[in-house]
């Protein structure tokens, strides 16, 4: 997976992270590490552009949840802890939409994964970048 980063300034500064390729077990820790690094550098609002991400495995679900936790200033569960990472998602899903991370243009297979896991109620999803940026 290729990750590119852009900065946008609207009502608030927003980092746009554009992912290209599948988000799966081969690269999900790269996404978590990138978000952690950006957060440590001061990023507080993140738009994940998933328009070029045709597939997301369960590891990708863990990565998205970890990114949300990082942006809340919390430590995500160790991804190597196995099922604990999924139990953490279950415990967190009722918190509602996350204020500092939003998704842009998830592809149909990715959107189905978000629906099946309940994460469509956790992440605001946009199809228009301008509207997404204005929502922060």
Could you report the per-residue pLDDT of 78-91, keeping only the tens digit for each?
767 766 776 677 77
Buried b (16+ CB within 10 A) or exposed e, 109-130: ebbebbeebebbebbbbbeeee
Domain ranges of the chain: 2-134
Average pLDDT across the chain, whole number: 92
Q: Indicate the pairing of strand 2-9 with strand 13-20.
A: antiparallel
pLDDT for 20: 97
pTM reported for the whole predicted model? 0.91
> Among 1-15, 25-39, 75-89, whose mean pLDDT is lowest?
75-89
CATH for 2-134 (3.40.50.720, 3.30.750.24, 3.30.230.10, 3.90.1150.10): 3.30.750.24
Q: Flag whether pLDDT at 69 surpasses 80.
A: yes
Give per-residue pLDDT as tens, 108-118: 999 999 999 98
- Has residue 119 got a pLDDT over 70? yes
- pLDDT > 90: what percent of the chain? 79
For the chain, where are the E strands, in sequence order?
2-9, 13-20, 46-52, 101-104, 125-126
């Amino acid at each position: 997976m290729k990750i590119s980063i852009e900065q946008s300034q609207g009502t608030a500064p927003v980092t746009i992270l554009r992912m290209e390729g599948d988000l799966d077990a081969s690269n999900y820790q790269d996404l978590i590490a990138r978000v952690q690094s950006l957060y440590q550098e001061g990023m507080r609002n993140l738009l994940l552009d998933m328009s070029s991400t045709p597939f997301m495995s369960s590891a990708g679900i863990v990565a998205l949840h970890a990114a949300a936790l990082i942006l809340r200033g919390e430590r995500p569960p160790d991804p190597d802890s196995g099922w604990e990472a999924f139990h953490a998602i279950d415990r967190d899903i009722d918190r509602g939409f996350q204020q500092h991370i939003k998704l842009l243009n998830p592809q149909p297979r990715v959107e189905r994964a978000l629906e099946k896991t309940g994460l469509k109620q956790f992440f605001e999803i946009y199809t228009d970048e301008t509207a997404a940026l204005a929502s922060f």
